[in-house]
Chain A
Amino acid sequence: MENILGLVALGCGLIVGLGAIGASIGIGLMGGKFLEASARQPELINELQTKMFILAGLIDAAFLIGVAIALLFAFANPFVLA
């Protein structure tokens, strides 16, 4: 029982932490490229901005789904009930 609790706590930390690393790298790469591209061709900024926001949402989503699952495990742990 305590074993499971501890492992789930570790798991939650890993889910949030690794997810945050991935999302940050993704957002950083994309934001950097966006700035580069808009410095090179300022007339494309509007068009690129829409696409950047879509992609930001897509990148963010994977991380936030992870956070949701981790928080669910932390508070309503399905493994302990079973």
Chain B
Amino acid sequence: MAAEAHAPTASEYIVHHLQHLQNIKQKSVIDLSVVNYDSVIVSVVVGVLGLFFFWLAARKATSGVPGRWQAAVEMMVEMVDTQAKATIHNAQSRKVIAPLALTVFVWIFLMNAMDLLPVDLLPVIWAQIYGAAGHDPSHAYLRVVPTADLSTTLGLSVSVLILCLIYSVKIKGLGGWLHELVTAPFGTSKNPLFALILGVVNLFMQIIEYVAKTVSHGMRLFGNMYAGELVFMLIALMGGAAALSLSGVLLPLGHIIAGSIWAIFHILIITLQAFIFMMLTLIYLGQAHEAH
């Protein structure tokens, strides 16, 4: 054991894995100058891959007997289309929103699916490259799952919020939307004094609603993926702990069993969370179409 100068402890291992590959170190909770290169690169790469495979399906599409992949894509498109029809009753905006929902679903699913790669696979490869480039490999940070990064998920949910605002103005008109901001949810009054008070309260409630919607939308996806990633790391540590003790001979077995169970459960979670993110996008955009 003496040869290994710095075999990391459990805490060090986890902290190392929770460090992003970024341009500067994050100093405060909100720091807009930080760019997490790993999240950006991985999300763009899986996005381009998804586009490529869907393009393949579209290029070879036949009206005859569809191949397996074409059938799968058709099922996905139809599923999203059904959900979009159920929540958004405006055929004109559905032309934009239904493809958007499909994009959100597939992209988030692919980003979540990065969680199913072995936790140490890409970080170790990256450490080798980083070491080969003449840097210290123990400072090679990489987080593989883009949706386990709060910046990505909040970025997505803020984009949905902006779309909601755009559609509110587009459907109801600027005046109609502003009118709704001060009259919903409590209505207004004939008496000017009460109307003013109710207007302030209504505006306050609307702002809270928008903020809560957006934050919970992003936090939900982030929390699920982050917890999943952490549990995968703990399982990885369980196998690693076997090397340190004699009594831990059975731990690799536990590692395999626990890893399989959690990975199978995680297939459900990543699909469900991508689906929920898509559904909530549709529901929020549907709300933007409804006049009170």
How many Å from the CB of B148 to the closest CB on chain A? 9
- A61–B14 contact, CB under 8 A? no
Q: How many B residues face the partner with a CB closer than 8 A?
A: 23
Question: Digit string of B192-204 for contact with A (CB within 8 Å is 1, else 0)?
Answer: 0000000000000
Docked CA distance A72–B178 (Å): 42
SS class of chain A's interface: helix, strand, loop or mixed?
Answer: helix
- A71–B234 contact, CB under 8 A? yes
How many Å from the CB of B232 to the closest CB on chain A? 11
SS class of chain B's interface: helix, strand, loop or mixed?
Answer: helix
Answer whether residue A64 sits at the interface, using C-beta atoms and an 8 A cutoff: yes
Docked CA distance A53–B231 (Å): 23
- Chain A residues whose C-beta falls within 8 Å of the C-beta of B61 in the assembled complex: none
- A68–B14 contact, CB under 8 A? no
Interface size class of A (residues with CB under 8 A): 10 to 19
- Chain B residues whose C-beta falls within 8 Å of the C-beta of A53 in the assembled complex: 272, 275
Docked CA distance A53–B10 (Å): 35
Evaluate whether A75 and B224 lie within 8 angstroms (CB atoms) in the complex, with A53-B275, A57-B275 already known.
no
Closest to A71 in B: B230
In the A-B complex, list the 6 residue pairs whose CB atoms are closest, starting with the nearest: A65-B223, A68-B227, A75-B14, A61-B220, A57-B276, A68-B226
Chain A positions near chain B (C-beta within 8 angstroms) = 50, 53-54, 56-58, 60-61, 64-65, 67-68, 71-72, 75-76
